[in-house]
Amino acid sequence: MSSPAPILISGAGIGGLAAALALAQRGFAAHVLEKRAGPAEEGAGIQIGPNGVHILRQLGVAGALAPLTASPDSLYIMDGVAGRELTRLPLGTTIETRHGAPYWTAHRADVHSTLLAAAQNEPLISVSFGSDVIAAQSHEDRVRLHLSDGSELDGAALIAAEGLWSTTRGSLFKSAPPVHSGSCAYRAVIPADRLPGGLSAGSTHIWLAPSAHVVHYPVRAGQEIAIVVILEGRAIVAGWGTDIAAAQIQDRFANAPSPLRELISRPASWRGWPLMKLPTPTAWNEGRIALLGDAAHPVLPFLAQGAVMALEDSVVLADRLAHSPHAVAEALAQYARERVPRTSRVARASRHNGRIFHLAGPFAAARNAVLRTGSPQRLLASFDWLYGWRAPAGGQNLR
């Protein structure tokens, strides 16, 4: 008797690799197809809340990744105009006790390489680089992929984890292309010993300013600091992952408070990304084909949950397929039904955060007053719905 056809996964990013590992844990063979010629994960820092760390533990990679991460002890929310601390949220042991897992910050490349190594060491998973999926069809008993080199490949299902610019979403689901949100992200990493005095290298900071905010936090076991700048208005990004001259970012913060201005002066160069959004919702599944991660639900980065949503997707999808292995199309439809409410709520909360972060004038003054006088513990508790999520257990998904 021949072995069952593998589940095909298009995209070897964080979501695609996590899906392969989750499927393998449930006994499914997976073949991951990546169009790039070799491993490459764009970006710099990544924040992984307790909901994501629980999944990394479940996937068996948390032990290898932990030495490369940091666990910030606090989140400082700063007035990016006056330079004052508005409030300080406890993280560290407080959030770990509250949710049973730490809040990690890491370099995205470290997360990606750890997942890739685990996938390549798993006998049920194969990873093929230089394999560009250009078309797919769902049949009653299989999917068929067409690759850019003219070859074809059959599998039990296709999970398209192709990111924001998903070919499968655009062709199969006739989705409109992403559009610019009006903001761009600029990222850099500096050695921790270059952090300006007065800023804690072991904490996360977020600076709130009109039409802009800055986040910085430790990565690579605290040896480096990732810096993310979000700016509204005229983009200075020419394309995806554009190199940006340091002076262009420094000019935007010439009148910022001294610690923030000094921080922005430290990187020698930056990389820029336009922040994109889908103009209308799209379907997630058709027959034996389903979307995962940013291919299904790109999330603006104002809640630091984009990659974690892909991790959540991976275990829900694998759980649905394990529950109904002989009804693949229905299992994928159930996966989509379960995940749409959760990811939609995260997307709404992220957009709301972005508006709050970028307030100006009297509205910013009112926001700052609320933060200064409010309870940090109450603010932390307002995110229990987010960080308290757990992977499916016994077919039940806790939202």
pLDDT of residue 396: 38
CA distances from 215 to 93, 206, 208, 301, 302 (A): 21, 4, 9, 11, 10
pLDDT of residue 59: 97
pLDDT of residue 1: 34
pTM above 0.75, yes or no: yes
pLDDT of residue 239: 60
Rounded to the nearest 10°, the torsion over CA 90, 95, 96, 102 is -80
Q: Cα–Cα distance between 52 and 293 in angstroms, integer?
A: 13
Residue 199 φ/ψ, nearest 5 degrees: -105, 135
The total number of residues shown for the chain amounts to: 399
pLDDT of residue 287: 96
DSSP class of 100: S
**Model pLDDT for residues 226-253, shown as the tens digit of each residue:** 999 999 986 666 566 788 999 999 999 9
pLDDT of residue 2: 47
Q: What is the pLDDT along the chain (399 residues), one digit of tens a residue?
A: 346 899 999 999 999 999 999 999 999 999 999 998 877 656 689 999 999 999 999 999 999 999 999 999 999 999 999 999 999 999 999 999 999 999 999 999 999 999 999 999 999 999 999 999 999 999 999 999 999 999 999 999 999 999 999 999 988 888 888 988 999 999 999 999 999 998 999 999 999 999 999 999 999 999 999 999 999 986 666 566 788 999 999 999 999 999 999 999 999 989 998 899 887 767 899 999 999 999 999 999 999 999 999 999 999 999 999 999 999 999 999 999 999 999 999 999 999 999 999 999 999 999 999 999 999 999 999 999 999 999 876 433 333
